[in-house]
Amino acid sequence: MSEKYACHFCSKIFSSKSNLNTHMRTAKYCLDTRKNNAPIEFFICDKCDKNFTTKQKMQSHQEKCECTKCFSCKKLRDENEELKQKYKDLEEKYEKLREDNIQALKKQLSTYEEKCKDTENKLFSTLENVAMKPSMIKNTNNTQTINTLISKLDPLVYEDIQKNIQENYTKAHFKKTHHGLAEVSKKPLKNKVICTDPSRRVLKYKEPNGEIITDVGGNKMTKKIITKPFMKKVMEDYDEYHEEFKLVRDDKKTSPADYEASIMQFLEISNYKTDIVAFCENGDVKDNRSCEEFVRLICIETVPSSLVQIQD
């Protein structure tokens, strides 16, 4: 039969001497019965005066304990809570203000787009009126006709066009959206494409086999330029730009003017990226704003001077 060990102060029985010693040193109810019969050692927290029977318990308590003994500590704690609440309120106000700004900027962007479209429509209307008045066209050598111009075009080799654009399309072009795409396309399309009817956006160009293509709306040519490899490049540029945008958006030091400008640019670039992806999926310029504007800009660049020079 195993030996039992009894506490001399409270008569509680233990199975080992080590358990008994731990009990006699740490059990508060036992220590209370001793009174002056045995020395009692307590470990007291210097922050709140709470006492513990072991140093380890006291140290564990002190890691979480907040000072309640002095007025200054309590005041600091109260002020800290008040600041936390103010910070939370300011964060909520900031988020609401930012959301309101985004909605307002979206509305401004929509108005801006409508004005741009109206301006471009007026431009093409002017070009159409010029084209509809052949008696007013200035023909410097009386032999130069549209057919002559077409016959002098260099063949449009799609592989060369795609390679040229892939190699020269930069992040700066990407940020200019369809304007940047038209800009980087000018050189490879030079002397290869002409616009014969600006109002209907009719493009004419020569295939490598000599066949003359009449491309109403520019859909065929656009398919050869906006390809899946080009879409992949646009997506990569967008992901990188998006990270840059978030840094500006979340920077508390960003001025209101810069913040507004970054939102406007973000909305325009996001729409451009969406349009490029949509075109690669359905291959239709119609109702695709970025692609329609790209074709219009190409028409402006490639319309023969004889269609826009009016006699005095």
- Residue spans of the domains in the chain: they are 5-62, 112-307
Q: Which burial class, exposed, middle or buried, applies to 249 when counting CB atoms under 10 A from its CB (0-12, 13-18, 19+)?
A: middle
pTM for the structure as a whole = 0.55
What's the burial of 270, exposed, middle or buried (CB within 10 Å: 0-12/13-18/19+)? middle
- Distance in angstroms (rounded) separating the CA atoms of residues 287 and 282: 11
Instruction: Give the SS3 label for residue 126.
Output: helix
Radius of gyration of the chain from Cα atoms?
40
Which pair of tokens denotes residue 117? 């479209």
Amino acid identity of residue 230, one-letter, is F
Top-confidence residue, 197 or 24: 197
Token pair 């500006």 is at which residue?
248
Q: Mean pLDDT across the chain, nearest whole number?
A: 80
Count CA atoms closer than 13 A to 302's CA, side-chain side: 32
CATH number of the domain at 5-62, please? 3.30.160
pLDDT higher than threshold 50 for residue 275: yes
Instruction: Please write the tens of the pLDDT for every residue from 69-92.
Output: 555 566 676 777 888 888 888 888
Q: Are 192 and 205 in contact (CB under 8 A)?
A: yes
Share of the chain above pLDDT 90, in %: 26
Alpha-helical runs (H) found in 36-170:
55-62, 71-131, 146-151, 158-168
Cβ atoms 165, 232 nearer than 8 A: no
Greater confidence (2 vs 243) lies with 243
